[in-house]
Amino acid sequence: MDVQSAQEILTAHGVLEVIERCEPLRQGYSSDVKYILWADGQPRLLLRLSTIELLARRQSEFNALAVHYGRGILCPRPIAFGQTPDRTHCFTLLEYLPGDCAEDVLPKLDRRIQHRIGMAAGAELRRLHQLEGDEPSEVWFARRLRKYRLRVQQAREMQLGFPRQAEVEEYVEAHVSVLEGSPVRFQHDDFHPGNVIVRDGRYAGIIDFNRCDWGDPVEDFYKVPWFSAPLSKAFAQGQTEGYLEHGAVPDFWLRYNLLVAMNLHGSLVWERQNSSSERQSVWLDHVVEMVESHDLQTSGPPAWFTND
């Protein structure tokens, strides 16, 4: 997309009379095409283009973001959603959230500051989870269990395995009933430092709602050992403490361990379908480490939480 095309979208929605440049944003795994739009010498807007097949999905995400922004959640302000003139794509227009990606800045900060940012992130995640879904708990549970068993089947068909796999599967079958009656709440589903914005050493907001879903809110923690803890244990510990500081969660560590285990097969299947063989090998190493560092016996806290 060039500046003129972006300008046409903005003009149609009464946003920014003049933009100076349209800068491609290539971060992340999404197939969407993203642009940062500059005006007055600074980034002002984020424009995301999705194929028209994703119209309903992107509309739903935009609506959820609008609700969160209206509730005072620190997130990008949603401005407009629609279709491009040729109707081959839909677009999402958001206000640019200024600051730095936590993934880049956390390792440079003092451990106490990393922990403080994590505490604020956990408190904000708890607020995100206050938004209730419409799906009955029993319907969600049946859907979630089907998804897990499908990923197990796909992994076997692809001949994807990992050490102690049988133990993991036994653990899931023995404990999955704890999810019966789970609250069905909004899930960001990609809550980690790569999507956290930091400004002046403080938590400034969460971005990228394009994987959002509905279900047991504890599942928003399953990516902590994948992305957050390896980068900053202090942030990961702070996120958990900040979350639980705002109210106990029944069987939190049991649910956490269970949902981590339920996502292991799916992570390997996704990597096989989307990544190079070299990356698949690295991901398998991560799965092995995940099994070793989590308590699949007594369902206690994982190593990243208990160890400094």
CA distances, 120 to each of 107, 239, 268, 305 (Å): 17, 7, 31, 17
What pLDDT score does 26 carry?
78
What pLDDT score does 278 carry?
80
Find the range with the poorest average confidence among 14-23, 88-97, 147-156: 14-23
Find the range with the poorest average confidence among 5-19, 48-62, 268-282: 5-19
Could you give the CA distance from residue 57 to residue 215 in angstroms, rounded to a whole number?
17
3-state secondary structure of 301: coil
Could you give the CA distance from residue 190 to residue 159 in angstroms, rounded to a whole number?
27
CA distances, 123 to each of 46, 217, 244 (Å): 26, 13, 8
- Domains in the chain: boundaries: 3-95, 100-306
Q: With contact defined as beta carbons under 8 Å apart, do 141 and 180 qualify?
A: yes
Q: Which residues have C-beta within 8 Å of that of residue 271, sequence separation ≥ 6?
A: 279, 280, 283
What pLDDT score does 15 carry?
66
Find the range with the poorest average confidence among 28-32, 198-202, 249-253: 28-32
Give the residue, 221 or 274, on which the prediction is more confident.
Answer: 221
Question: Any idea which residue has 């070299």 for tokens?
Answer: 278
What pLDDT score does 307 carry?
81
For residues 59-81, average pLDDT? 96
Could you give the CA distance from residue 147 to residue 150 in angstroms, rounded to a whole number?
5
Q: What is the pTM of this model?
A: 0.93
**What length does the chain have?**
308
For residues 244-252, average pLDDT? 94
Question: What φ, ψ does residue 83 adopt, rounded to 5°?
Answer: -115, 150
Could you give the CA distance from residue 206 to residue 150 in angstroms, rounded to a whole number?
31
**42 token code pair:** 């600074």
Q: Where are the alpha helices (DSSP H) in 13-107?
A: 55-70, 102-105
Give the residue, 32 or 212, on which the prediction is more confident.
Answer: 212
Long-range contacts of 245-251 (CB under 8 A, 24+ apart): 245/119, 245/122, 245/123, 246/123, 246/126, 247/126, 249/217, 249/218, 251/178
Q: With contact defined as beta carbons under 8 Å apart, do 36 and 48 qualify?
A: no
Could you give the CA distance from residue 235 to residue 113 in angstroms, rounded to a whole number?
9
For residues 201-213, average pLDDT? 96
Question: Any idea which residue has 């989870």 for tokens?
Answer: 129
14-59 pLDDT, tens digit per residue, is 666 577 888 888 776 677 889 999 988 899 999 999 999 999 999 9
Given a cut of 90, whether residue 296 has pLDDT beyond it is yes
What pLDDT score does 17 carry?
58
CATH number for the domain formed by residue range(s) 3-95: 3.30.200.20
Q: Is CATH 3.90.1200.10 the classification given to domain 100-306?
A: yes
Given a cut of 80, whether residue 9 has pLDDT beyond it is no
**154 token code pair:** 């796909």
